[in-house]
Amino acid sequence: MIDRNTPPQVALIKDFTFVKAKTFDLNAPHKGFYIDATDQEIVKVELILKAGYREQKKPMQAAAVNKLLLEGTKHRSAMEIASLFEGKGAFLDTDIHADYASLVLHCLSRHLDELFPLVLEMLNDASFPEEEWLDFKQNKLNQFSIKQEKVSFLTKNAFAVNFFGKAHAYNNSLSKSDFDALSREDLLEFYEQHYVGNPITVLLSGKVKSRELDLIKQHLGGWKKPKAKNNNEGLNFNSTFQKGLELNIEKEGASQSAIRMGLPMPQKGSADFPKVFLANTLLGGFFGSRLMSNLREDKGYTYGIGSGIVNLEMAAYWFLTTEVGVEHTANSLKEIKVEMQKLNETEVEEEELQLVKSYLQGTLMRNFDGPFQAMDRFKSIHLLGLDYSYYENFVQQIKTIEAKELLAIYRQYFKFENTLKIIAGKK
């Protein structure tokens, strides 16, 4: 008979090596990085520009420009572009972020020579056809009206404006009137300023050999002379965060309420960050967290509750999100408060702390697994001006933090009474 009561003896995670991105030379000020780590004949190319929504003068401007890159150039219609990429079985996507914007190509390696120059064409010669712009606007408006019926969206959309403030560069909250205020001219202006001739960061992952690197070099070499890099001048990063603000959005007929909460946090590069990250994981960052254990696995108030930390170049914040039965709204808020207070009052037991430490190390290992994931890890440090020493320090701190230090972190950063609370549904 085998002993099923005690776990089999296994070796815990020792140090593991991070798969690191390497640099390759491009004409300055463009920058190139790559990870070669698969036998499949595939490649992912991400082109990143400092064209995030923080640069926009009007709501939705940066997102609209980014999305419409694919909808026509001076040489090709939207249909031609779609046919060229889809004909090769390739995927071309856009991505907009607070600090940057991307074009992302996934394709079989054998199609890279043909497709890469087309991607560059969109960064240089996009034409923003009137018709595509009007369709985009109408579709977004329709989607917006559907999303307005979702309690989770109502809290999400109210978050940035209440957390950062209306004039803050990171406020990306939308209202219906924003759709009329934006014109095609606004798009052209943003494109000229933040795309054409601007520095590009190229991230190449998959099977990446000298053929792929040479190809990228060759095409980016012929790029027009980049303009001076734009900086943060003229951008407003003054947060108007008010401790303890609570906002209720009544939604008639709702059977669940959405709750979203927020708190300012130290930035990723700061000394406290690894500890703050662990503190969040234990509170709400994984299935075994205090919040999941209480609100889902003990009380059954919700299908899920989670919290996380968002790292931006000029700010960082903690958020919590859940949807709970309307009859459990008040009790859910009470239990969130109970959990945060407990962590402010009592040191975490050693067993629980060890579990979270091991879980985090496993997660990091998992998140570095495969070329695309490993490149995402690089991206998340590089774009914040950090390097791999961030991860080395992170692992070191996670391994050594003690319950006493963690208590101090909760007391400094995780106070329920300080949180911004947005509740949509019925309180």
Query: At closest approach, how far in Å is the CB of 21 from another protein?
Result: 16
Exactly one of 114, 121, 135, 189 binds another protein (CB under 8 A); that residue is 135
Query: At closest approach, how far in Å is the CB of 135 from another protein?
Result: 7
**Footprint of another protein on 191-230 (CB under 8 A):** 206
Segment contacting another protein by CB under 8 A, of 6-14, 48-56, 216-224, 399-407: 6-14
Site string for another protein, 30-69 (x = CB under 8 A): -------xxxxxx---------------------------
Contact predicate 383/100, CB 8 Å = yes
Exactly one of 113, 125, 139, 411 binds another protein (CB under 8 A); that residue is 139
**Footprint of another protein on 381-420 (CB under 8 A):** none
Task: Say whether residue 177 binds another protein (CB under 8 A).
Answer: no
Task: Say whether residue 374 binds another protein (CB under 8 A).
Answer: no
Query: At closest approach, how far in Å is the CB of 405 from another protein?
Result: 21
Task: Say whether residue 180 binds another protein (CB under 8 A).
Answer: no
Exactly one of 87, 117, 221, 385 binds another protein (CB under 8 A); that residue is 87
Query: At closest approach, how far in Å is the CB of 8 from another protein?
Result: 4
Exactly one of 173, 341, 358, 412 binds another protein (CB under 8 A); that residue is 358
Segment contacting another protein by CB under 8 A, of 57-65, 88-96, 164-172, 413-421: 88-96
Exactly one of 256, 280, 307, 419 binds another protein (CB under 8 A); that residue is 256
Residue with Cβ nearer another protein (27 or 354): 354
Task: Say whether residue 284 binds another protein (CB under 8 A).
Answer: no
Residue with Cβ nearer another protein (286 or 388): 286
Task: Say whether residue 146 binds another protein (CB under 8 A).
Answer: yes
Task: Say whether residue 359 binds another protein (CB under 8 A).
Answer: yes
d(CA 399, CA 361): 9
User: Can you give the chain as a three-state secondary structure string?
Assistant: CCCCCCCCCCCCCCCCCCCCCEEECCCCCCEEEEEECCCCCEEEEEEEECCCHHHCCCCCHHHHHHHHHHHEECCCEHHHHHHHHHHCCCEEEEEECCCCEEEEEEEEHHHHHHHHHHHHHHHHHECCCHHHHHHHHHHHHHHHHHHCCCHHHHHHHHHHHHHCCCCCCCCCCCCCCHHHHCCHHHHHHHHHHHCCCCCCEEEEEECCCHHHHHHHHHHHHCCCCCCCCCCCCCCCCCCCCCCCCEEEEECCCCCEEEEEEEEECCCCCCCCHHHHHHHHHHHHHCCCCHHHHHHHCCCCCEEEEEEEEEECCCCEEEEEEEEEEHHHHHHHHHHHHHHHHHHHHCCCCHHHHHHHHHHHHHHHHHHCCCHHHHHHHHHHHHCCCCCCHHHHHHHHHHHHCCHHHHHHHHHHHCCHHHCEEEEEECC
Exactly one of 48, 65, 107, 333 binds another protein (CB under 8 A); that residue is 107
Site string for another protein, 318-337 (x = CB under 8 A): -----xxx------------
Task: Say whether residue 91 binds another protein (CB under 8 A).
Answer: yes
Residue with Cβ nearer another protein (103 or 200): 103
